[in-house]
Structure 1
C-alpha cells in the first residue's frame, strides 16, 4: 500500500480524491474538480483513489464517506472537503496555498 507521502512526493501541492464508482455525486464532483485543475491549476496532480482499493489508506486518514477530497501540501493534509464541497472555495484554498508555498 502506498502512503500519502509516496503518492504526493513529487508534488508540493496535490489533490487526492477518494470516491466510489457507485456514487453519482462522486462522479459529478470529480468532473468539476478535474475541470478546475485543468483550467486554473494544471500543474497540480489530481490523484484518484477508489475507496475499495485503498481501505488501509482510508482508515489511516479517517476517510469515512465518499467523496472526500484532501488538499495536500508537502505530503500533509492542508484541507479536507466532502460531498457538499464548494468549487470556488476549493479554488481559493489552492490559490492561497500556492501563494503561501511560493514565499
Structure 2
C-alpha cells in the first residue's frame, strides 16, 4: 500500500487543538491509524483520492474510533458509518475530526 503523509485540507476556527488517534480498518482486515487534531481536515493514506469522510473520534487518547462519516465535503454528513470505519482499498479518505477525548 502506498503510504502518504497527512495533508491538511481545511481548517476550522482556531481552537485549542486536541490531539488523538484516528483508527480505521480496511475491508481486507488490516487496520491503520493516524495522529490527528480536532477541528481540522486531513487526508489519510489509503490509495487513490476519492471520497471524503467526516468523522467523530471518541475514546481514550491514542485509541480513537470513527463514530460517523459522510461523503463530498467537510461539513455535510450524508451517511452514518461503522465503528471503526471500514474503508475499501484502494481509496484515500479525508477525515474531519469533530471531537477528541
Which is richer in helix?
1
TM range (shorter): 0.3 to 0.5
Q: TM-score, normalised by structure 1?
A: 0.33
TM normalised by structure 2 equals 0.33
The structure where strand makes up a greater share of residues is 2
Which has more radius of gyration? Answer: 1
